[in-house]
């Protein structure tokens, strides 16, 4: 498989995920799409030079993460729920039973109560990244990533128990 | 009985499958008991549950709120081709296949293919092909061109009725003669056909083709140099989408540079040449003086408006002829490029370079580097959590502290650059309004540093021991900096030292007693940093 084919395969599989990741940082959609495309171009250029990329998915998230930080100049908040929360909370949900709706509300609140960093780690974990890859993407130590995830799990468990 | 391992092998821990079965209440008593007593399996279960909860949140709640991609995704080959087209230098063998493939996919973008089709294609061949294709283009009949000459702007039809009709304006009449001497068509100077005719007749020539990117526009510049004739260098700029000639520059021996550009569309124009009010000549003329520090100052002030002078990969330098200030921003987003170009538009003598490479200048940390971990000794962690009001409060405070500290390093670095570029002598040589700009910039940095240190102190208040009044001044031996410029360098050092101390406290492994000692040292350092900021602020007033 050539580099081009390999990157093309990853591009097809991951571009929506990388795009979404940038949206979580409140990067506007048009810009997020451009940046997502740029991330894959960077991957292609890197691999074309013969440089090895151990886990291209993790690498792409790292690039996207840096793009998001640059976009916001100084700090970027992951999944800032302040604006969307109310909208989501009021989403009509006629298709689901009241219990399910209640569960969703509790889940949303539980996620909202996590810190942005915890949400970020959890998001990457849910995308299948390993602890050290998450740490590398965000630019923190592996132990810090582990701690964020541990705390997130403890919080979620406490809130979600019973639902 | 052994516990089934993740890969079917024996393992002292529960497998993923067994953990999943827990959710269905299908674990055996032995497995459930193991789960109770094994922290590792308990942690894995917590991780799996958190992941599952998050996935549910992501897919069922959050995803419907995310905007879909506004445009169709570009094929990867097209992205690669576009990147290659933006490279100003020659081709690499490895790029050819991609470019070729992209050209096939992007049938509409014949232009790209023309420029980059073959690795063996020399600059001359590319120039010829571009000019030949451009010459085929049917241009509007009522087209006008502007001529920038000796500080004047003149407008005339792009194509004159006849070649030899003498012009009334003396400058233009002379120019007409110079074009004739160079065997370059005066009748239609801004044309690929005319350029090609002149170029083809040259015995020796050196061609180059470059790709120019400005804002959202791309164009190709064909440039030909020769040692023969009176026209030594000529360039023609062709708009990328259709190869329409939009600008030209002609460097005549003993005449200087004459610039042509397609004039804005006008309903009619006179048959001859008419003069417009004088406008600044954008090309570097030979009698220009050095750009001077005030240009750099205005650039910094403009960048400061959008916060691009702090913690961003923006370098400011002068061009080799010291006539322009070059603002080089490597690796900034296009949106940021637009913002930077926007604020610098009003500053004269500025050249913008937006590269993708890594900045070569040392830069302050631009982004917060969160590095805290679970290695804080348990008693100290407990102490910190109690004082902050719980684990989450500690975490949030730590976030804020490290971010403020990181920003302070970037801010101090920006102040240092200002101090380095505008030493006391240069500051003195500035005119009063520029001195005010410099002072305002400096004050902005100082105020921001004051805000950040105050934020750090506020957040650290629950854990920092009190420092006696005047201790910092004593530590600094009561010495005030001779000028704000000299104080700026020590501010950077203090900012870095404080940042290191904070990261050490929250990231490293250490003993309880070391942690307590670090807290005491940190308090003194913050005090000293605060004192230095205030001292530097006073020195500049």
What are phi and psi for residue B239, nearest 5 degrees? -65, 135
Q: Tokens for A64, please give them.
A: 């996207």
Phi, psi for B438 (deg, rounded to 5) = -60, -45
Which pLDDT value is given to residue A119?
92
Question: Do residues B268 and B296 share a domain?
Answer: no
| Spatial contact of B158 and B188, defined as CB atoms under 8 Å apart | yes
Q: DSSP string covering B478-517, please?
A: TPPPSSHHHHHHHHHHHHHHHHHHHHHHHHS---HHHHHH
Residue B99's pLDDT is 47
Q: Count, in order, helices (H) and strands (E) of chain A.
A: 8, 0
Residues B472 and B530 sit within 8 Å (Cβ to Cβ): yes
Is the model's pLDDT at A49 over the cut of 80? yes
- Please tell me which of the candidates B49, B60, B311 has its beta carbon nearest to residue A104: B60
Predicted pLDDT of residue B146: 84
In a domain, B129, yes or no: no
Examine the domain organization and report whether B297 and B185 are in the same domain.
no
From CA B418, how far away is CA B61, in angstroms rounded? 48
Q: Does residue A131 fall inside a structural domain?
A: yes
Other C-beta atoms within 10 Å of B262: how many? 20
B207, B213 contact by CB (below 8 A): no
Q: Work out how many domains chain B is built from and give that number.
A: 4
Instruction: Mark whether A20 and A42 lie in a shared domain.
Output: yes
Judge: B53–A84 Cβ closer than 8 Å, yes or no: no
In a domain, A24, yes or no: yes
In 3D space, the residue among B528, B316, B339, B309 whose CA is nearest the CA of residue B421 turns out to be B316
Q: Which domain CATH number covers A29?
A: 1.10.1740
The reported pTM is 0.39
User: Are residues A151 and A99 located together in one domain of the fold?
Assistant: yes
**Together in a domain, A56 and A116:** no
Q: Are residues A97 and A65 in the same domain?
A: no
Asked if B467 and B332 sit in the same domain, the reply is no
**What residues contact A129, with CB distance under 8 A and at least 6 apart?**
A55, A57, A58, A61, A137
Q: Is A82 on the interface with B (CB under 8 A)?
A: no
In this complex, is the C-beta atom of A75 within 8 Å of any C-beta atom belonging to chain B?
A: yes
Kindly state whether residues B479 and B340 are assigned to the same domain: no
Q: Examine the domain organization and report whether B58 and B161 are in the same domain.
A: no
Is B459 in the same domain as B322? no
Look up the CATH number of the domain holding residue A99. 1.10.10.10
At residue B20, the pLDDT reads 63
Q: Are residues A57 and A94 in the same domain?
A: no
For residues A46 and A94, membership in a common domain is answered with no
Average pLDDT over residues A35-46: 93
A37 part of a folded domain: yes
Q: How many domains does chain A have?
A: 2
| Torsion sign (Cα): B269, B270, B273, B278 | negative
The CA-to-CA distance between both ends of chain A, in Å, stands at: 47
Answer whether A153 sits within 8 Å of B50, measured CB to CB: yes
User: In terms of domains, do A55 and A112 share one?
Assistant: no
Residue B359: its pLDDT value, please?
38
- Residues of chain A found within 8 Å of residue B97, distances taken between Cβ atoms: 4
Assess if residue A79 is contained within a domain. Answer: no
Contact criterion met (CB < 8 Å) for B373 and A79: no
User: How many other β-carbons are positioned within 10 Å of the β-carbon of residue B423?
Assistant: 13
| Co-location of A10 and A50 in the same domain | yes
| Host domain of residue B49 | 3-65
Report yes or no on B82 lying in a domain.
no
Question: Is residue B427 included in any domain, yes or no?
Answer: yes
Chain-centroid distance of CA B493 in Å reads 26
Q: What is the pLDDT of residues A111-129, one digit of tens each?
A: 888 888 899 999 999 999 9
Average pLDDT, chain A: 82
**Count of A–B CB contacts within 8 Å?**
163
Residue B535 lies in a domain: yes
Q: What is the CATH number of the domain that holds B320?
A: 3.30.1340.30
Whether B385 and B394 have beta carbons less than 8 Å apart is answered as: yes
**Binary contact (B65, A123; C-beta < 8 A):** no
Residues of A in contact with B407 (CB under 8 A): 74
| pLDDT number for residue A13 | 92
Q: Are residues B420 and B530 in the same domain?
A: yes
Altogether, the residues listed in chain A come to a count of: 163
DSSP string, A60-82: HHHHHHHHHHHHTTT---TT-TT
Say if residue B400 is in the same domain as residue B520: yes
Q: Is there a single domain that holds both residue B204 and residue B301?
A: no
- Residues B227, B300 within the same domain: no
Helices then strands (H, E): number in chain B?
Answer: 18, 13
Find tokens 């500025």 and name the residue: B350
Q: Are residues A65 and A108 in the same domain?
A: no
pLDDT by position in tens, chain B (length 541)? 344 443 444 567 777 667 666 656 666 777 777 777 777 777 777 778 888 889 988 888 888 888 899 888 888 888 887 777 666 544 444 444 444 444 444 444 444 444 444 433 467 877 888 898 888 888 887 788 888 776 677 788 888 877 666 666 777 788 888 898 899 999 899 999 999 999 988 888 888 877 776 656 677 888 898 888 889 889 998 887 788 998 898 988 877 778 888 876 543 444 455 554 443 333 333 333 556 788 888 888 888 888 888 777 777 877 666 667 878 776 667 778 888 888 888 787 777 776 543 333 333 443 333 333 445 777 888 888 888 888 777 877 877 887 788 788 888 888 888 888 888 888 888 888 888 889 889 888 888 898 888 888 888 888 877 765 555 555 555 555 667 888 887 888 888 888 777 877 775 566 777 777 888 888 888 888 888 888 877 776 6
> Is A33 found in the same domain as A55?
yes
In a domain, B88, yes or no: no
Q: Does B411 share its domain with B518?
A: yes
Q: Nearest Cα to A114, choosing from A83, A86, A143, A81? A: A81
Q: Is A100 on the interface with B (CB under 8 A)?
A: no
- Say yes or no: B494 and B447 in one domain: yes
For residues A91 and A145, state if they share a domain: yes
Q: Quick count: other Cβ atoms within 10 Å of Cβ B436?
A: 11
Domain that holds residue A137: 84-160
Measured in whole angstroms, how far is the alpha carbon of residue B120 from the centre of its chain? Answer: 33
Strands B231-239 and B245-252: antiparallel
Q: Which residues contact A109 (CB under 8 A, 6 or more apart)?
A: A159
Is B79 part of any domain? no
In a domain, B284, yes or no: no
- List for chain A the helix, strand, coil content (%; round to 5): 70, 0, 30
**B168-177, long-range: CB within 8 Å, 24+ apart, which pairs?**
B168/B272, B168/B273, B169/B273, B169/B275, B172/B147, B172/B273, B175/B147, B175/B149, B175/B255, B175/B258
Residue tagged 């001292």 (tokens): B535
Does one domain contain both A111 and A67?
Answer: no
Question: Is some CB atom of chain B closer than 8 A to the CB atom of A88?
Answer: yes
A68: left (phi over 0), alpha (psi -120 to 50) or beta: alpha
């Amino acid at each position: 498989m050539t580099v081009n084919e390999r990157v093309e395969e990853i591009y097809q599989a991951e571009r929506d995920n990388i795009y979404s990741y940038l949206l979580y940082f409140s990067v506007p959609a048009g810009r997020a799409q451009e940046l997502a495309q740029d991330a894959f171009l960077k991957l292609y250029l890197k691999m074309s030079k013969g440089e090895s990329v151990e886990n291209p998915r993790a690498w792409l998230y790292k690039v996207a993460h840096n793009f998001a930080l640059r976009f916001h100049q100084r700090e970027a908040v992951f999944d800032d729920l302040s604006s969307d929360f109310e909208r989501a909370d009021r989403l009509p949900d006629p298709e689901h039973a009241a219990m399910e709706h209640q569960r969703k509300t509790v889940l949303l609140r539980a996620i909202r109560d996590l810190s942005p960093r915890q949400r970020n780690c959890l998001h990457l974990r849910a995308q299948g990244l390993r602890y050290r890859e998450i740490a590398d993407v965000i630019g923190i130590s592996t132990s810090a990533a582990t701690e964020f995830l541990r705390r997130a799990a403890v919080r979620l468990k406490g809130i979600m128990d019973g639902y | 009985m052994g516990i089934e391992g993740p890969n079917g092998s024996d393992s002292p821990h529960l497998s993923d499958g067994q953990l999943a079965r827990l959710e269905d209440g299908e674990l055996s008593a032995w497995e459930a008991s193991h789960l109770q007593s094994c922290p590792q399996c308990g942690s894995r279960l917590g991780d799996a549950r958190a992941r599952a909860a998050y996935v549910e949140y992501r897919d069922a709640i959050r995803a419907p709120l995310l905007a879909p991609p506004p445009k169709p995704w570009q094929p990867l080959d097209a992205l690669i081709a576009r990147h290659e087209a933006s490279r100003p230098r020659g081709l690499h063998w490895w790029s050819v296949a991609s470019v070729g493939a992209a050209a096939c996919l992007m049938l509409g973008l014949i232009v790209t293919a023309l420029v980059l089709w073959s690795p063996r294609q020399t600059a001359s061949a590319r120039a010829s092909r571009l000019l030949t294709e451009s010459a085929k283009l049917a241009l509007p009949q009522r087209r006008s061109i502007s001529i920038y000459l000796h500080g004047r702007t003149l407008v005339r039809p792009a194509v004159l009725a006849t070649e030899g009709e003498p012009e009334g304006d003396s400058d233009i009449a002379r120019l007409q003669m110079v074009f004739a001497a160079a065997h370059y068509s005066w009748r239609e100077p801004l044309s690929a056909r005319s350029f090609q005719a002149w170029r083809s007749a040259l015995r020796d020539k050196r061609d180059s083709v470059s790709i120019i990117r400005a804002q959202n526009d791309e164009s190709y510049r064909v440039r030909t140099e020769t040692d023969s004739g009176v026209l030594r260098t000529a360039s023609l700029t062709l708009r990328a989408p259709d190869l329409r000639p939009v600008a030209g520059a002609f460097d005549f021996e003993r005449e200087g540079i004459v610039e042509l550009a397609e004039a804005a569309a006008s309903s009619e124009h006179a048959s001859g040449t008419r003069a417009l009010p004088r406008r600044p000549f954008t090309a570097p003329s030979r009698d220009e003086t050095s750009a001077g520090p005030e240009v750099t100052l205005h650039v910094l002030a403009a960048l400061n408006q959008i916060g691009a002078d702090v913690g961003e990969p923006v370098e400011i330098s002068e061009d080799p002829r010291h006539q322009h200030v070059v603002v080089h921003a490597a690796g900034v987003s296009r949106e940021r490029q637009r913002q930077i170009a926007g604020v610098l538009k009003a500053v004269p003598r500025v050249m913008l370079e937006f590269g993708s490479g890594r900045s070569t200048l040392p830069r302050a940390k631009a982004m917060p580097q969160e590095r805290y971990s679970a290695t804080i000794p348990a008693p100290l962690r407990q102490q910190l959590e109690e004082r902050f009001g719980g684990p989450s409060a500690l975490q949030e405070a730590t976030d804020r502290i490290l971010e403020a500290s990181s920003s302070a390093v970037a801010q101090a670095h920006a102040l240092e650059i200002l101090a380095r570029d505008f030493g006391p002598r240069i500051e003195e040589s500035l005119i009063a309004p520029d001195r005010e700009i410099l002072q305002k910039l400096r004050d902005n940095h100082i105020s921001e540093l004051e805000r950040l240190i105050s934020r750090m102190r506020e957040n650290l208040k629950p854990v920092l021991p009190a420092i006696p009044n005047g201790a910092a001044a004593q530590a600094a031996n009561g010495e005030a900096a001779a000028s704000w410029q000299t104080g700026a360098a020590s501010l950077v050092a203090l900012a870095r030292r404080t940042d290191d101390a904070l990261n050490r406290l929250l990231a490293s492994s250490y003993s309880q007693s070391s942690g307590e000692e670090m807290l005491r040292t940190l308090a003194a350092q913050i005090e000293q940093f605060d004192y230095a900021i205030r001292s530097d602020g006073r020195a500049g007033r």
